[in-house]
Structure 1
Amino acid sequence: MSSASHSASHVVSGALFLTLTAVGGEATAAQQTATAASDESLSTITVTGTPLPGSPLSQAAEVDVVDSDSMEAEGATNLGEALAPLAGVDSISTGNSVGKPVIRGLSGDRIRMLSDGMGVDSQQYGVRHMPTTDTFLLDRVEVVRGASSVLYGSSALGGAVNLLPREIAWDSPVEGEALTRYSSNNGQWDTGVKASGGDGRFGYAFGIIRRDAGNIETPDETTYFPPPPAPQHRDAPAYSGELDYTDFNQVNGDLAFGYRDDEGGEWTARYARFNDQHNFLLPPPAGQLPPPAGEEGVGQYIDNHQLELAGDKRVDGIRWQPKLMWQNNRRRSNAAGRPRSAGFDDAIDVEFDQYTARLTGQHGPVGFTDGGTLGVEYSDKDQVSRGGTQLSPGGTVSNFATFAFEERRFGDLLLQTGLRYDHHRIEGEASKTANPSTSVSNAESHSYDVVTGSLGGIYSFTDNLSLAGNVGRGFRAPGLFELYVAGQHGGVAAFQQGNPDLDPETSLNTDLSLRWASDTLRASATLYRNAIDDYIYPRDTGTSRGGLPVFAYDQTDALLTGVELSVEKDINRWLTLSAAAETVDGERRDNGDELPLLPADNLRLGARVTPDDRGGWLRDPYASLTLRHYASKDAAPGEPFSQFDGAPFGSASTDGYTLVDIGAGISPRFGNQVVHFDLAVHNLLDETYRGFLDTYKGYALSPGRDIRLTARLPFGG
């Protein structure tokens, strides 16, 4: 990558800014013509969710791409934080260690997480369970909005997030980058190196990074302990200033080897490991001490292994892509009040092995279609629960699917349609659960046969203006946790209870988007509606157990509607202004109650300045300013931590606030060596606030000012 590209913005919309190239295949004549008519300076990049290649204005799917350069310059420490700048995308955070993506108001098991197109599981039923992939090790992240079950099956009700690892540099002996970063707020040091290379036939790629973080800092404010003298301070947080037990340590890495055969086929083997140890600050009195005694924490340990074998081979005009993946994920958690420094106490220990096989074939014109993708996929998951507390039990989950995704152009109108069949089977097993509840002991196998489909179209009024619409059917089968959970869950400070009679969720998602893309202006306005039948949610039973509220899983019908707006304007060659806004409304259709974990309405304004390159230390300079405003929001009934709206301290509902972020960077050259220096300051004014999707909001403030300094040393190439 050239140093000039370093100073450019790399958060881009696939629907607006990039020539979208699906994996494999050749563009039809109509698509080649449309692509030639578009801006020739636009990059070409592989994206998910599209049956064939096309120009920026010839894709019905809403696809966003964030590349590694952008994530590193911003100092992103988790996936949710890296994607949050995108319109319609938010992050559920817990300190700096956890960032779970939210797409159009949906998160967790309703967002399909993918690794190179293969579904992965991070036991994401927990609101604080982070994705087990490090952003430093990725080449880019692709975000597909709207129901994506046709390609990815269960859990893709709101969209899909595809994590693309670093590609092999087949024709270069070595090219890579070393990184070091310091974050002032929690004294975090990140140190990593990644590289790839090859001789044309054999290739490799590897990366490793260590993240070592202390406790986060919040503004010093009045706290409830001891109780403040005035009743208007009743919602004072339990803790402010330095928040004990918010530290974490990670060592993550990957290693890949590749081979190119004489017929142009590529074959790769990749191993990745994510290893994390962290503390979570507990709400009083969730631990072992009385509330005024001070902070208590709980230690957790996450270990994730992935091994992928993949091929890419064209045979008789069809591009075949076979993939096999093994994933082992183990989550261990101590009892409340025991931090990670005390060692594992065998409270919760859940581990699974998941095997997935996927074969896709991308073809050109056949019959009525201009081309598309056919596929078949099978996955099998075997889970055991060894800890003293059942929480999520042991059991098995399997899924078989076959699908087709095709497209056809009629002049200025492009239609894309897909159809998929899934057979999903799930069973809780007492023999794989150390302390099974009655529901697990009496569990029966559940099988679901589901057909989903999608129809999208895009009409190009001009080379710059287009109108896109999509209708998609999605589904999500209930998980082992929702069916059979039975125990105290420190992640939500409640006792949770499963429901073995849950039906699968099904959704009908529609969206309409008006898009403009030219040399100096990129803009998009999107309306969407997502109706979900049999929406699964935790219901507050009004009872308590062990001093904690009891949340039991139940079902109802739900409706989400929203608007996303984004615009980016090049005022001149050195100044770019941008804006993005989002509002989403979600409610139960039986009583109108709001759905949990919806983001607050928000508006983002930005300016980026790229002055002339003056050489020396002022080589490739840039500076940025971002204002983020979030409206006030009330906690929904049954929302995680909603109980703090009734506690003598804190609040689960949040007031509106505005944050100011700045950034700057230069890329000086020392001899033949370029070094990238990036500065990112989050919450510049040290604003006192509670983020609505910050899971500490009920009893602590959100992080204060954070100065992140990053140095990157590219080498080779």
Structure 2
Amino acid sequence: MKSILNILLCLSIAGIQAQNTLKGNVVETTTKKGLAFVNVYIPDLEKGTYTDEDGSFNLDRLPSGNYTLIVSALGYETLSLKATIPTNTSLTISLMPSAIEIEGIIISTPFHKLQSENVMKVEQESVRDLKSNGAITLAEGISNIAGVESISTGLSIGKPVIRGLSSNRVLVYTQGIRLENQQFGGEHGLGVNDAGIESVEVIKGPASLLYGSDALGGVLYLNPERFAQQNTSSADINANYTSNTKGYSTNVGYKQSNDRFKFLFRGSLTEHSDYKTKSYRVTNTRFREQDFKAGLGYQSQGVKTEFRYNVNNLKPGIPENIGEQSTRKSPLLPFQEVTNHVFSSKTKLFFDTSSLNINLGYVYNDRKEFEEHHHDEHEEHDEDHGHEEEHDEEHEEELHDDDILEAALHMKLKTINYDVKYNLPKLGKFETILGVQGMNQVNTNYGEETLIPNALTNDFGILGTSHIHFENLDVQLGARFDHRNIEINNSLNRNFNSFNGAIGFKTDIVKNVTGRVNLASGFRAPNLSELASDGTHEGANRYEIGNSNLKNEQNFQTDVSLEYKSQHLEFFVNGFYNAVNNYIFLAPSGTEIDNTPVYTYSQEDAKLYGGEFGFHLHPHPLDWLHVETSFETVTGKQTNGLFLPLIPANSLNNMVKVELNNEWLDKGYLFVNLKSVFKQNKVSNFEDATPSYNLLSAGLGGTFMCLKRELTITLAGNNLTNKTYISHLSRLKANGIFNMGRNINLGVSYNL
């Protein structure tokens, strides 16, 4: 591998071109007047600038090649165009006025950068918008995207669900690499803080062609914040207060860029007490999270590279029953302490008519779990004194000091992964990418308890995909082969192989109406827990026994989508049918071990079907008024007629939003939102039905100048009627524990 990279580096040096300049002018289509403060951005180079007062722009130090240029401005339709560098001509770009919001750049799929050009449908939301709606955590925020929900264990632990599929069936990417942090566990969270995350992209459907195993159900792609634009610097501080938990989150960041080098860093701290329902606080849902992100980039002579690092330390309590009522933030037993280190590097080599992407990553996950029975001497100490309530806080501190040395369950997961893709020269109507991906993963136990054994996992995949441009039709197709080897405790050795493909079509049926059809297969190899677990999961209160004879999950999904988009109305309908062979599920065996119910893993063919539809109206001349509605539904069944577990209930989301902009207020808004969740009675034979409920939310915010700097203030209220309800995807549902009650979230952001 090293020799191959050396050869490629030599080739890149041989193909170096003089650094080039791209100049142009952006004007309004109707008046032909220059537009100021328009963002002109080249995604492949992650390089951009803004137009001056006359609409002119200048991008220098550009390597030779063919690039996509994204031109965007508030109040105008986002434009994507091809630019060949070097060029001797100055570009003139016209933008059409539009009330539609600025279209974001899609990173998770190849070839094209705007969703309107993609053959595969991708949902994208900025983290800023998710937070402005009152989301406390990233896992809670993504549940506002149609077709996406979250399995929660309290407030700190949330797992993404895409069209009814979760756990290892949804692959999470961060910093351009796959995130591996024992994500199969029901009480394991994302392990990523929203500070330093710019946007979230969701691929709803099999993405094994691009990402391999574990992308059978879809991909959650987290885009880190961009570096500062060339020869600029910025700093900001952000704080949020949450009334329900008496909690807060705060972060500060700085970034700077010159002609060649760029860097950034961001640190954050979050603490929350037990969340409150209408009647009680849910004991031990408190948590503390520390996060630090840093990045270093360099670009010159046909090479663009960046290195990023993220360390996240999360200490969440594991809720069991309603007990102590307090607003302290130190978790009680049982609790976890999880430290996640993510190292990544992204390098792109530019040749005359092609390019090479090399992404490398290392993820080190250190997971500890502390349980009650390791501290009998402390409990006796409290009984002798007879003043348990008076010594609670001191007692908690003693437990924490001892627990650092006495974790009952302690696992370290170390993962090295690589992703190399070569963008071939464009051949007629064909754009083609060839690639290899792989992973080496080691799981090691250090605690006295062993739930998942020591194991070694090796992955290797090879892929090819092409985009074909016809006059009125775009076609994307590809194929991939994967091999996974899992060696457990030097005793069990399993190999899993899979061949997968995908084909998609996109066409403009009539003016403003776009149709997409995607057919794709995906697979997922059984994870370590499913193959070899043998122990008690404290958070789930069950004894789990693996099945070493499990086969690959293999699926085939059909997606159909129809979109209408005009200047003042957007409408979409998405439908899917997903057939999954050898679906793996956990079910009670009817027996007990140590007074704990035993659950075992089985397989059965299954099918999931449903979709989403919605509209967005911003009527003329009331362009400041937005009315949005979306509905999502999914049904999951085994071939034996039984329903699958943990399938989200149907829901309807209605929002009215008003945009407020004037001389002193920028990006101002006011919204009212009603989410209606319907009764979920299509449940598995070991689940209970969940009643329907309605949640009312509202908020406002905006940006204005304070001491010549931008100050942004947001205020959002969720569950304003203080409704007592239980989500079907709450793991506290079995104990009859309600979800969070009324909450007011205040956010402040200041550019230093």
TM-score in terms of structure 2 length: 0.81
> Does the 8 A contact of 1:282 with 1:296 survive in 2?
no
Which of these residues, 533, 538, 554, is aligned with residue 485 of structure 1?
533
Cα distance in structure 2, aligned partners of 1:338 and 1:370: 63
Shift of 1:428: 1.1
Which of these residues, 468, 479, 492, is aligned with residue 419 of structure 1?
479
Determine the structure 2 residue equivalent to 1:611.
660
Determine the structure 2 residue equivalent to 1:626.
673
Shift of 1:676: 0.6
Higher RCO (Cα < 8 Å, 6 or more apart): 1
Shift of 1:541: 0.9
1:319-358 Cα offsets, whole Å, 9 max, x none, are 2111111110011112257797523232111111100111
Shift of 1:638: 6.5
What SS class does the counterpart of residue 117 from structure 2 fall into?
Answer: coil
Which of these residues, 302, 309, 322, is aligned with residue 271 of structure 1?
309
Cα distance in structure 2, aligned partners of 1:458 and 1:477: 31
Which of these residues, 744, 748, 751, is aligned with residue 707 of structure 1?
744
1:618-637 Cα offsets, whole Å, 9 max, x none, are 55431101100111124733
Give the stretch that moved more between structures: 455-464 or 48-57: 48-57
Cα distance in structure 1, aligned partners of 2:674 and 2:374: 39
2:638 aligned with 1:588? yes
Cα distance in structure 1, aligned partners of 2:128 and 2:238: 12
1:576 partner letter: H
Determine the structure 2 residue equivalent to 1:393.
453
> Does the 8 A contact of 1:578 with 1:605 survive in 2?
yes
Which of these residues, 344, 364, 372, is aligned with residue 432 of structure 2?
372
1:305-331 Cα offsets, whole Å, 9 max, x none, are 011122122113112111111110011
Shift of 1:147: 0.4
Cα distance in structure 2, aligned partners of 1:248 and 1:659: 25
2:411 aligned with 1:358? no
> Does the 8 A contact of 1:551 with 1:638 survive in 2?
no
Cα distance in structure 2, aligned partners of 1:37 and 1:545: 70
> Does the 8 A contact of 2:349 with 2:356 survive in 1?
yes
What SS class does the counterpart of residue 140 from structure 1 fall into?
Answer: strand
> Does the 8 A contact of 2:106 with 2:113 survive in 1?
no
Larger radius of gyration: 2
Shift of 1:122: 2.0
Which of these residues, 367, 379, 385, is aligned with residue 331 of structure 1?
367
Cα distance in structure 1, aligned partners of 2:527 and 2:714: 42
Shift of 1:504: 0.8
2:703 aligned with 1:667? yes
Flag the 1:578–1:214 CA change in 2: closer, same or farther, 3 A: same
What SS class does the counterpart of residue 621 from structure 1 fall into?
Answer: strand
Which of these residues, 217, 223, 242, is aligned with residue 276 of structure 2?
217
2:383 aligned with 1:383? no
Which of these residues, 403, 407, 421, is aligned with residue 346 of structure 1?
407
Flag the 1:71–1:561 CA change in 2: closer, same or farther, 3 A: same
Cα distance in structure 2, aligned partners of 1:20 and 1:580: 31
RMSD: 2.6
Shift of 1:131: 1.0
Shift of 1:48: 3.8
Cα distance in structure 1, aligned partners of 2:238 and 2:572: 35
What SS class does the counterpart of residue 667 from structure 1 fall into?
Answer: strand
- Any stretches of 5+ residues in structure 2 without a counterpart? 1-38, 46-65, 70-78, 83-92, 325-330, 376-395
2:243 aligned with 1:204? no
Q: Equivalences for 1:250-261 in 2 at 5 Å?
A: 250-261=289-300
Give the stretch that moved more between structures: 477-486 or 410-419: 410-419
Determine the structure 1 residue equivalent to 2:281.
242
What SS class does the counterpart of residue 481 from structure 1 fall into?
Answer: helix
Q: Equivalences for 1:58-73 in 2 at 5 Å?
A: 58-73=117-132
Which of these residues, 138, 142, 146, is aligned with residue 197 of structure 2?
138
Determine the structure 1 residue equivalent to 2:320.
282
Cα distance in structure 2, aligned partners of 1:270 and 1:182: 29
1:624 partner letter: F
Give the stretch that moved more between structures: 548-557 or 74-83: 74-83
Shift of 1:653: 3.1
Cα distance in structure 2, aligned partners of 1:336 and 1:504: 37
Shift of 1:208: 0.8
Determine the structure 1 residue equivalent to 2:503.
455
Shift of 1:140: 1.3
Cα distance in structure 1, aligned partners of 2:638 and 2:705: 58
> Does the 8 A contact of 2:134 with 2:717 survive in 1?
no
Determine the structure 2 residue equivalent to 1:637.
684
Identity of aligned residues (%): 26
Flag the 1:19–1:477 CA change in 2: closer, same or farther, 3 A: farther
Cα distance in structure 2, aligned partners of 1:688 and 1:58: 43
Cα distance in structure 2, aligned partners of 1:54 and 1:676: 29
What SS class does the counterpart of residue 215 from structure 1 fall into?
Answer: coil
Flag the 1:546–1:713 CA change in 2: closer, same or farther, 3 A: same
Give the stretch that moved more between structures: 99-108 or 576-585: 99-108
2:618 aligned with 1:570? yes
Shift of 1:520: 1.4
> Does the 8 A contact of 1:470 with 1:511 survive in 2?
yes
Cα distance in structure 1, aligned partners of 2:68 and 2:708: 40
2:532 aligned with 1:494? no
Shift of 1:384: 0.4
Cα distance in structure 2, aligned partners of 1:357 and 1:197: 28
Flag the 1:540–1:58 CA change in 2: closer, same or farther, 3 A: same
Cα distance in structure 2, aligned partners of 1:271 and 1:627: 39
Flag the 1:71–1:454 CA change in 2: closer, same or farther, 3 A: same
2:128 partner letter: D
Determine the structure 2 residue equivalent to 1:402.
462
Flag the 1:484–1:185 CA change in 2: closer, same or farther, 3 A: same
Cα distance in structure 2, aligned partners of 1:380 and 1:548: 35
Shift of 1:38: 9.7
Cα distance in structure 1, aligned partners of 2:675 and 2:552: 37
Shift of 1:370: 2.0
> Does the 8 A contact of 2:181 with 2:413 survive in 1?
no
1:243 partner letter: V
Flag the 1:501–1:245 CA change in 2: closer, same or farther, 3 A: same
Shift of 1:56: 4.3
Determine the structure 2 residue equivalent to 1:507.
555
What SS class does the counterpart of residue 150 from structure 1 fall into?
Answer: helix
Cα distance in structure 1, aligned partners of 2:319 and 2:647: 23
What SS class does the counterpart of residue 128 from structure 2 fall into?
Answer: helix
Cα distance in structure 1, aligned partners of 2:231 and 2:176: 26
Flag the 1:418–1:249 CA change in 2: closer, same or farther, 3 A: same
Q: Equivalences for 1:100-249 in 2 at 5 Å?
A: 100-220=159-279, 241-249=280-288
Cα distance in structure 2, aligned partners of 1:112 and 1:92: 15
Shift of 1:396: 0.7
> Does the 8 A contact of 2:127 with 2:197 survive in 1?
yes
Which of these residues, 84, 106, 118, is aligned with residue 143 of structure 2?
84
Cα distance in structure 2, aligned partners of 1:296 and 1:636: 33
Which of these residues, 673, 697, 722, is aligned with residue 686 of structure 1?
722
Cα distance in structure 2, aligned partners of 1:84 and 1:312: 33
Determine the structure 1 residue equivalent to 2:389.
none
Cα distance in structure 2, aligned partners of 1:636 and 1:706: 30
- Any stretches of 5+ residues in structure 1 without a counterpart? 1-17, 221-240, 288-294, 431-442, 643-651
